Amino acid sequence: MNMQAVKTESAAAIPLATSGEVLRLPAPKASYLQTKLLPAAKDFAANLIPPLVMIALILVVWQILCSKQGATLPSPSKIWMEARDLIVDPFFVAGPQDIGLGWRVLTSLQRVAIGYGFAAVIGILLGALVGQSVWAMRGLDPIFQILRTISPLAWLPISLAAFRDSQPSAIFVIFITAVWPIIINTAVGIRNIPQDYRNVAAVLRLNHFEFFIKVMIPSAAPYIFTGLRIGIGLSWLAIVAAEMLTGGVGIGFFIWDAWNSSRLSDIVVALVYIGGIGFVLDRIVAFVATVVTRGTSAN
Amino acid sequence: MPTYPYLKIDHVDKSFKRGAATTEVLKDVTLAVEKGEYVSIIGHSGCGKSTLLNLVAGLLPVSAGCVLLENKEVNDPGPDRAVVFQNHSLLPWLTVYANVKIAVDKVFSSTKSKQQRHDWIMHNLDLVQMAHAKDKRPAEISGGMKQRVGIARALAMEPKVLLLDEPFGALDALTRAHLQDSVMAIHAKLGNTVMMITHDVDEAVLLSDRIVMMTNGPAAHIGEILDVPLARPRKRLALAGDPTYVRCRQRVLEFLYERHHYVEAA
């Protein structure tokens, strides 16, 4: 912009010496299609085609391996024939126990949301405490280090005994699975807050709450989100196992039920669902992380 | 007229303990600074200059003695002694404007209205010529610009004493000269009391009313205090050949390189 202004000024001064006039010729404008759409489409195709090719290859090999006489697992074509209703319509309702996988996944997601929500809030608060206070770290860190190695399912009997109901027990298992990485990563992030930021906060006399909101959380955000991302992955792993044991509605119980009635094709479809949802969950947390930590990680 | 100095560092000792070992950094440092005075503290690296500044800022507790500001002892950090840190210390997730705002909101939350606070932020950004970049984040501006914002943030607290911890140390020579001129202009305009840590002899002579020279540590103390009787405003180019300037410069150099030669092993 400034360049242009300078140019016109000098052009106005020149006519005293010369009689010529400078004409600005419009540059040929490339169409939107050429500059934006084509490269974007190329980029997209370059990212999409290789995985599609690989999936097709895997399906073909799988089909060949499982088409033999006496194969123990169903081939893709057999799955398509047997479990077509599950694949094409995730949200059908044919009876109280005969519902689409979409509904089941939503039930499981709801449990994960509650358990993971508690884990996120309590994990960040406890992590901040452990990261900020040397005494809290000395007292709590060894306990956390031991508790976090316990398998999520080992907590299930304890929580069933405590809550006497399957729904809160499953939620508790999610909570206890997801909370450790969140605590530990938050604590590391808080411990790594540069002394400079602490000095700035001290000179400004920020109180504990202001320091927590304005300095701690943004500064530790990249670490916190690492914890949150590990946590969401672990919760999704744990919910399937927990539901297999607690029963009721849910993707985990569906698999157990399908196994008991020898519907192997249904199980394969459910596995694809679980993988897909897990992938999406991870991406959502990763996306939120990049948006939130834009400023911090740019440094 | 008060009979006490504006800022007084009174027989201050500072030692650090690590386990059983005690390192004595500062020993018996006494210094009085008058209101509106620009004082530089110069010394070899490791002599405890920054420790002294941190003691005045209240970021470190004194081991013995005390720091008095307007005859009141100061023990903890506060906005009346704003610090400009060597590496700017801007919060990277906040914009330039928000970095100054966090200070202004904290210091003037009860005394200024929202509009007044906004005007005050913009006023301080104007002082350091950074108003044009108010919506940029620290990562998007140059080192000199970051330091300007750091200065604006400190000035915006309306401190009684402005503490500069090697504010131009991380900058290239041209940017440094430019920023020194800005600080001189601001000092001339606002008449702040300034205490600056530096290891640059020219910078110390150019900017200061008095230069405090520290001996080498451990147990560093004030070796000599030099008055710089140069009239303000000072012009960098005109001063280069000025006999007073040359004499002051010579005195500081002699102190640093002859009498208190820096010993690497010490």
Each residue's pLDDT tens digit, A218-254: 899 999 999 999 999 999 999 888 888 887 788 899 9
What is the CA angle B60-B65-B66, rounded to 5?
65
Dist. CA B206–CA B194, nearest whole Å: 14
Indicate the pairing of strand B38-42 with strand B193-198. parallel
Task: Summarize the confidence of residues B59-75 as an average pLDDT.
Answer: 89
Q: Which of B29, B7, B37, B30 lies closest to B217 in space, CA to CA?
A: B29
Q: Do A205 and B77 touch (CB under 8 A)?
A: yes
**Res. B231: pLDDT tops 80:** yes
Q: Which residue of B has its CA nearest to A206?
A: B106
The predicted-structure confidence for B187-201, as pLDDT tens digits, reads as follows 988 888 999 999 889
Min CA distance, A179 vs chain B (Å)? 26
Whether B79 sits inside 8 A of A210 (CB atoms) is no
Q: If you average pLDDT over residues B46-69, what whole number do you get?
A: 89
User: Which residues, other chains included, contact B254 with Cβ-Cβ below 8 Å and sequence gap of 6+?
Assistant: none
Which ranges of chain A have pLDDT less than 50?
1-3, 5-15, 298-299
Q: Is A213 on the interface with B (CB under 8 A)?
A: no
Q: Say whether pLDDT at B1 is over 80.
A: no
Closest CB to A295 among B59, B78, B137: B137
CB contact under 8 A, A296 and B92: yes
User: In this complex, how many residue pairs, one in chain A and one in chain B, have their CB atoms less than 8 Å apart?
Assistant: 63
Q: Is the pLDDT score of B265 beyond 80?
A: no
Instruction: Please give the average per-residue pLDDT across B116-121, as a whole number.
Output: 93
Q: Are A84 and A100 in contact (CB under 8 A)?
A: no
Q: Residue B212 — pLDDT band, cuts 50, 70, 90?
A: very high
Contact residues on chain A for B85, CB-CB shorter than 8 A: 196, 199-200
A214 touches chain B (CB under 8 A): yes
Show residues of chain B in contact with A196, CB under 8 Å: 85, 87, 89
Interface test with A, best of B69, B93, B137 (most A CBs within 10 A): B93
Q: In what order do the strands lie in the sheet with B72-73?
A: B21-33, B7-18, B64-69, B72-73
Question: Which 152-191 residues of chain B touch chain A by CB within 8 A?
Answer: 157
- Cβ contact A210–B106 (<8 Å): yes
Radius of gyration of chain A (CA): 29
Phi, psi of A289 (to 5 degrees): -60, -45
Rounded CA separation B122/B129 (Å): 10
Residue A16 neighbours by CB distance under 10 Å: 7
Task: Classify residue A132 by burial, with Cβ atoms within 10 Å: 0-12, 13-18, 19+.
Answer: middle
Contact flag B91-A218 (C-beta cutoff 8 Å): yes
**pLDDT computed for residue A293 by the predictor:** 80
Instruction: Tell me what pLDDT residue A8 has.
Output: 47
Distance CA B194, CA B200 (A): 16
User: What pLDDT score was predicted for residue B174?
Assistant: 87
DSSP string, chain B: --SS-SEEEEEEEEEEEETTEEEEEEEEEEEEE-TT-EEEEE--TTSSHHHHHHHHHTSS--SEEEEEETTEE--S--TTEEEE-TT----TTS-HHHHHHHHHHHHSTTTS-HHHHHHHHHHHHHHTT-GGGTTS-GGGS-HHHHHHHHHHHHHHT--SEEEEESTTTTS-HHHHHHHHHHHHHHHHHH--EEEEEES-HHHHHHH-SEEEEEPPSSSB-EEEEEE----SS--HHHHTT-HHHHHHHHHHHHIIIIITPPPTT-
Least Cα distance to A269 among A18, A74, A19, A64 occurs for A74
Residue A156 CA to residue A111 CA, distance in Å, equals 15
In the predicted model, what is the mean pLDDT of chain B?
88
Q: Does B86 lie at the interface with A, CB-CB under 8 angstroms?
A: no
